[in-house]
Structure 1
Amino acid sequence: MGAGHHRQPAPESRAVRRAALAVIAPVAVLTLVALIWMWPSQDFRTDAPTSADEVTGTVASIDPEPCAEQLPDDVNGCGAATVRLDDGDDVEVPLPNGSGAPEIAEGDDVVLVHSESPDGATYGIVDHQRGAGLWLLLLAFVLALLAFGRWRGLTALIGLGVSFVILLLFVVPAILSGDPPVAVAIVGSSAIVLSVLYLTHGFSLTTTLAVLGTLTSLVLTGLLGAAATVGLHLTGITDDVSSSVGSSYGVDMTGLLLAGIIIGSLGVLDDVTVTQAVTVAELAEAHQEYRPRQVYAAAIRIGRSHIGSVVNTIVLAYAGASLPLLVLTIASNDSLGSMVTDQYVAQEMVRSVVATIGLIAAVPITTGLAAVALRGRSAPRPARHSPRRA
């Protein structure tokens, strides 16, 4: 029996590794400088319109009474409720009715709005308190992730926290402070990619290649999104919320639309790029006789299968998030053509299509980079001996 061969780890191309780091290092420095330069001041809310004060309490009792006439949006009927506020005071409020009004019962923890008038303070129930329920749901999520992912699950949680910190402490405040939304989205996305991917997957050439593939695909996504936004004359204002943001805070809504496309694409892009980089690394190690072209061909087949499922995920995610407005848009149009060309539907189509094109581009880009950098060492071929003639 012949001696077995011990498999050596697939070597990494030093030239490509140096080239990758030579690109990542300046990007990281520029991102850090941009974060510091664009970090928002703390007075961005000074010109914001004030809203009614909110207080919390518990429904102590409900006193229903017959309605004088039928209510168009009857939720709780007519009458009043006594609410014990958290500060100990009892207030009497009318039962909430109308579209979206909360259905209340004795013992419910509720949110009330408080306003002052010449006749004194007035209160109204506007919502339920959901803090405790949300914390329980979050705890279940954390336990499930840690139970399955263990150490990798913990690093994923830390990475998720970093993403939220960047979005809530940098991206949103910087946009409210008047910085261009697209520039803010680019800097924020770069910071998320550089910090979260290395934190979650470790500092390695595989992660570096995934970072390069993600950033390259994000640039392509941004360029396509800008061209589609300008070419289709999209304003970014399609409902009361977007209109209020634009008019009340002076935000460039077209830029905010493009920023949303960039940030929304990021979550799916890093999944695909990391998967492809790791796939190439595993193939290169398992088949060290493969040349880069062979590794690329094998990994790209896996990438095509991945893309087939992820593309559907993107479209359904956008459709699900905007389903009420889609229902309203379809119900108010007579033809399919007018529905599709409506700005709201066109805007959602641009989000889905641009994100999908960027996602498709990420597969060959990341796979090609990884195949060159992680190619296997050519295995020695067994010598062929010609049979000797007698």
Structure 2
Amino acid sequence: MTKKSKFKRMDTYLTLAVVLIVIIVLCLPFSPLTGEPSSQQEQWEQGQTVRGKVLSISRNIEKEQMIPDLGEGYSIIYQDVETKLLAGKHKGETIIAENIIDERFIYKLVVEEGDEVLIYVDEDHEGRITEAYVADIYRQKYLSYLLALFLIVLVVFGRAKGLKTIITLALTGLAILKLLLPGLLAGYDPIPLTVIICAGITAFTLFIISGINKKTIAAIIGTTGGVLAAGLIAMIFGSLTKLTGLGEHETQMLAFIPQGNGFDFTGLLFAGIIIGSLGAVMDVGMSISSALHEMEIIKPDITTRKLISAGMNVGRDIMGTMANTLILAYTGASLPLLLLFMANAIPVEQFLNWDMISSEIVRTLAGSIGLILTIPLTTFVSAALRDKKRSKSNSQLKD
């Protein structure tokens, strides 16, 4: 059996093993590692959100007349929404849910007949529904269609690689849902936990996509090094700038959850930087490693110095676009906030020194530096792992 066929068989076994692991983990119940899970009955007593379909809508004029005049053309509209419940223990029942449209606020929940909505339901001790409110639009169905379209496109154009990509996506999702989030809720140190999980995601993803070979090993080492560099730089400059990790409202809300007493918010900020940079850094590491691998196949007698020079040249071309990718991604996420600051003419000095903005700047620049450092690291590792014996023999044959 040739060496190539042995590696191919190992790739197949690895893929099958990962599929088996994914299936096993999917079968495990998902619950936080702290606190006792509530029973279904307790959840219903506390109120629960269920899916329903709007049958008809009518205005509750009696309630509207009880509201004093708000002036300036503003009003509050009360709607009685007849809804058929499509899930939960009251599935099939038709109830009247209240929907309030307050014209003083920009966000207004407008529903139409035939819409699927989420209904917040309260029960009494006898299990009868006492109150029901329209909580939100049910969007999950169309999101599922979008996901299915993504998977179809992935398989049609990627074929075997596309199927492997789906496996790695499932593995990444499971690592986050089953390991990272429960681990953070349980109080584990965010940075070591995130580094270990990101290293595992990187190794499994690249081994499944590209197989067990020197090219993949070089990409894994380069990616892990780049991500660690991004995390280390973020920690250093985060400490120097005294970032608290509490710049965003969502982070502040974590202090009020049952597991929120022991959160390391600064550690969460740095962990988020590591995770956020992983995808782009992995892309750069694999691109450099693949380019050098193909170059060596086409020209086996290329010297190590020329191979490194070629790798750096390829990296410089990638560097500009990928650094822009991170910066534009973070800018896009903060676009409404940036518009708000510009519209209110907030001074640049004040703007840059806010905890929230400083955190985003550190996140963007640390991730970009980690991405740039991945290029030389992957290049040198690829050169160090090359088959030097084959290179020498090809060079001698040419002479």
TM over 0.5: yes
Q: Distance in 2 between matches of 1:44 and 1:379?
A: 62
Q: Using CA pairs below 8 Å that are at least 6 residues apart, which structure has the higher relative contact order?
A: 1
1:115 and 2:122 are equivalent in the alignment: yes
Q: Is the 8 A contact 1:75 1:96 kept in 2?
A: no
Q: Distance in 2 between matches of 1:265 and 1:73?
A: 48
Q: Is the 8 A contact 2:51 2:85 kept in 1?
A: yes
Q: Percent identity?
A: 27
> For residue 325 of structure 1, what is the aligned residue in structure 2?
337
Deviations 1:178-230 (A, max 9, x none): 11111210111111112111111100011011111111122211211111111
> For residue 316 of structure 2, what is the aligned residue in structure 1?
304
Q: CA deviation at 1:89?
A: 2.6
1:379 and 2:390 are equivalent in the alignment: no
1:60 and 2:83 are equivalent in the alignment: no
Q: 1:197 to 1:178 in 2, by over 3 A?
A: same
1:245 and 2:254 are equivalent in the alignment: yes
Q: 1:106 to 1:130 in 2, by over 3 A?
A: same
Q: 1:229 to 1:199 in 2, by over 3 A?
A: same
**Paired AA for residue 62 in structure 1:** I
**Paired AA for residue 332 in structure 2:** G
Q: In structure 1, which of residues 73, 76, 92 is the aligned counterpart of residue 96 of structure 2? A: 92
Summarize the alignment of residues 1-390 of structure 1 with structure 2, pairs less than 5 Å apart: 42-46=32-36, 52-64=47-59, 69=69, 77-86=77-86, 87-97=91-101, 98-115=105-122, 121-248=130-257, 249-250=260-261, 251-332=263-344, 334-374=346-386, 376-377=391-392, 379-380=395-396
Q: Distance in 2 between matches of 1:351 and 1:309?
A: 17
**Paired AA for residue 395 in structure 2:** A
Q: 1:319 to 1:76 in 2, by over 3 A?
A: farther
| 3-state secondary structure, aligned to 2:134 | strand
Q: 1:84 to 1:210 in 2, by over 3 A?
A: same
**Paired AA for residue 323 in structure 2:** V
**Paired AA for residue 232 in structure 1:** T
Q: 1:73 to 1:303 in 2, by over 3 A?
A: farther
Q: Is the 8 A contact 2:33 2:183 kept in 1?
A: no
Q: CA deviation at 1:258?
A: 0.5
Deviations 1:60-118 (A, max 9, x none): 11113666546999899443222222323332233332443432001111002123589
Q: 1:351 to 1:79 in 2, by over 3 A?
A: same
**Paired AA for residue 330 in structure 2:** Y
TM-score, normalised relative to structure 1: 0.80
Q: Distance in 2 between matches of 1:77 and 1:219?
A: 54
Deviates more, 1:104-113 or 1:332-341: 332-341
Q: CA deviation at 1:365?
A: 0.6
**Paired AA for residue 89 in structure 1:** E
Residues matched between the structures, number: 344
Q: Is the 8 A contact 1:76 1:95 kept in 2?
A: no
Q: 1:330 to 1:153 in 2, by over 3 A?
A: same
TM-score, normalised relative to structure 2: 0.79
Q: Distance in 2 between matches of 1:64 and 1:85?
A: 20
5+ long unaligned stretches in structure 2: 1-29
Q: CA deviation at 1:329?
A: 4.2
Q: Distance in 1 between matches of 2:377 and 2:177?
A: 31
Q: CA deviation at 1:326?
A: 3.2
Deviates more, 1:50-59 or 1:234-243: 50-59
5+ long unaligned stretches in structure 1: 1-39, 384-390
- CA RMSD after TM alignment: 2.9
Q: Distance in 2 between matches of 1:325 and 1:225?
A: 22
| 3-state secondary structure, aligned to 1:272 | helix
Q: Distance in 2 between matches of 1:94 and 1:333?
A: 41
Q: Distance in 2 between matches of 1:76 and 1:106?
A: 20
Q: CA deviation at 1:324?
A: 2.8
Q: Distance in 2 between matches of 1:358 and 1:314?
A: 11
Q: Is the 8 A contact 2:97 2:119 kept in 1?
A: no
Q: Is the 8 A contact 1:76 1:104 kept in 2?
A: no
